[in-house]
Every structure is written in structure tokens, then in C-alpha cells.
Structure 1
């Protein structure tokens, strides 16, 4: 199955229920909803819209996640980090293994970029292959104009 090279989505989409595990809820009855906008061909990265109603809960990150708050606000707490309020336009990066206490103040909507991390050895290999490709080929697998001129 071939994937489109360019995909477009919108932040105002219908979100499906994505319940927070009851054991993680600290206070209230937060109701989370989500919609996946895109997934990488290798399935190691995805972009999603997520929203949640008021409440407090613990969240554990098993992937790297970058979020941008689109609506509402939250207060985040984590070990070694005092509580801090974040709102519209704020960007937050959570590394795999992070733990945060979320306090959703009324409502929050975010766009999230999730990425599986690779072991450090694989990361070096991937960067080396990418550097080789950039040096010898332009995007789309064509020979780099720099090499075409030299050859």
C-alpha cells in the first residue's frame, strides 16, 4: 500500500473517546478524546489532536512527545519541577520515561507529535545513512546537483 507523500488535516475534527486509565486519575472525572492526523510510514511517529475536560491525573510517557496547546490551560507538576501553568501557544517536550501530574483547568486541546526513540547505536547508524544520502542524492532519490556538476 502506497502512502500519500503529502497529507493535510485540520485541528477541528471529530475526536473519539480515549479514556484515561482510572488508576491514573487523582481528582475529578477527566474525559479525554483524540484523533490521529498522521502516522509515519515506519509507524514510529504520529501526529494527533487530543482534548480533555477538567481533572487531575498522572501521565507516564513511553514515547517522546512534543505538544502545542491549542485551547485552554493546564498546570503540570513533575519531580524536581514546581507546578507551572501552560496555555495557548505553549510548547512542551516530554522525553520517554517522563512522569507528570496534569491538572486540566476546565478544558485543554493540544496537538501532539509522538515519536518512538531508537537505541543510541541505531541513532548513529541512521544519521550516517542520512548524511550519505544527503551528500550523494537530492530529495526524491535523484543525484545531487553538486555531484552532477562535478561528474
Structure 2
């Protein structure tokens, strides 16, 4: 059963990815190989548990090593970049291309002029905890669904009691008006 809008705790988020990001995203000097890039980012959205998020990122001409502390899928929105893995395999990403960078890997980035991407990021759950996390999420979802059903039931009961109270008041008023003993 899909969650109803009332069950969801987080509002949806919409925005333009055409607007350049505004917050500085400095890179460690030890990661820089050449250039003095201007790097910026703007977080777009994140999941309730904070394990996944979306952001826009851009960078000017430079070369650098980038260590991925989380899984990241990128889609190039503007410009291009060459990325090289630790085995020396190079891939060129142009507008519309997508790439996946696994957590724990380092990639060499070569930005000839400018690149802007949307990044879908995810903090992976350690293998030994995945089953426990799935069980916990399922239990939380069940509690949420049952809580929503209970809330609806309480509202229905309160509505019914209000109607009964109105009938009771109307009956009491009739008795007083007509002097009918109960």
C-alpha cells in the first residue's frame, strides 16, 4: 500500500537546475594538480534519513583528484570533463552523459573549461547492517501506516461523538420545551 500524502513527513521539493550553484565548494590543496578552480554547489533535496541527497555542482578549468566518500551518480548539464580511474581508464562525460562513482574510490578529474552537473548522492549502508536497516525501515513504515489508520479512526469517533452530543442537546431542548418527562 503506497503512503498517502498525510503519512509522508517530508514535503516534495522542486527547483530549476539551470540556475548556477551559489555556495563555494573548496577543494583540499593536496588534491589539486593544476589550476585555481572556482567550485560551487547547491543542495537541492535530501531524504528524510539523510542517506541520499541531490545537488548541483560546477567547476572551472582545473585538474584534481576527487575521493568519493559516498556513492554518486552524475549527469552533465553543461560543459564536459574527463575522468580517470585508478587503473588509468579515462572516460569523457559531455552534456547529457551520466557516470557512476562508487564510494571509496578516487578519480582524476580534468576540466578543460567548465563543467556543471547534477549529482545524486547516497551514503551506502555497510553490508553487515543492510538486513537490520531493511527490517527497521519496514517496521517504521508499518507503525506509520497503523498510526495513520488509528488517527483516522479517532477522528471518525470524535465526529460521531459530536453528532451524538448534538442529538443529545436537541433531545434535551425538546424535553425542556415540551415538558416531556424522560
Same fold at TM > 0.5: yes
Match of 1:124 in 2: 131
Match of 1:94 in 2: 101
TM-score normalized by the length of structure 2: 0.67
State the 4+ residue runs in structure 1 displaced beyond 6 angstroms: 131-134
Once the two structures are TM-superposed, the CA of residue 87 in structure 1 deviates from its matched residue by 0.6
Residue ranges of structure 1 left out of the alignment (5+ in a row): 143-151
1:74 maps to 2:78: no
Give the counterpart of 1:46 among 28, 50, 53.
53
* Equivalent residue pairs, number: 138
1:12 maps to 2:15: no
Once the two structures are TM-superposed, the CA of residue 60 in structure 1 deviates from its matched residue by 0.2
TM-score normalized by the length of structure 1: 0.80
Give the counterpart of 2:71 among 58, 64, 78.
64
Give the counterpart of 1:141 among 136, 139, 145.
145
Residue ranges of structure 2 left out of the alignment (5+ in a row): 1-7, 147-182
3-state SS, counterpart of residue 75 of structure 1: strand
Structure that is richer in helix per residue: 2
Match of 1:147 in 2: none
- Alignment partners' CA distance in 1, 2:57 and 2:32: 17
**Kept in 1: contact 2:10–2:48 (CA 8 A):** no
- Identify which range, 47-56 or 80-89, moves more after superposition: 80-89
Structure that is richer in strand per residue: 1
CA radius of gyration, larger in: 2
RMSD (Å), alpha carbons: 2.4
Once the two structures are TM-superposed, the CA of residue 141 in structure 1 deviates from its matched residue by 2.6
1:103 maps to 2:100: no
1:24 maps to 2:28: no
- Alignment partners' CA distance in 2, 1:126 and 1:44: 12
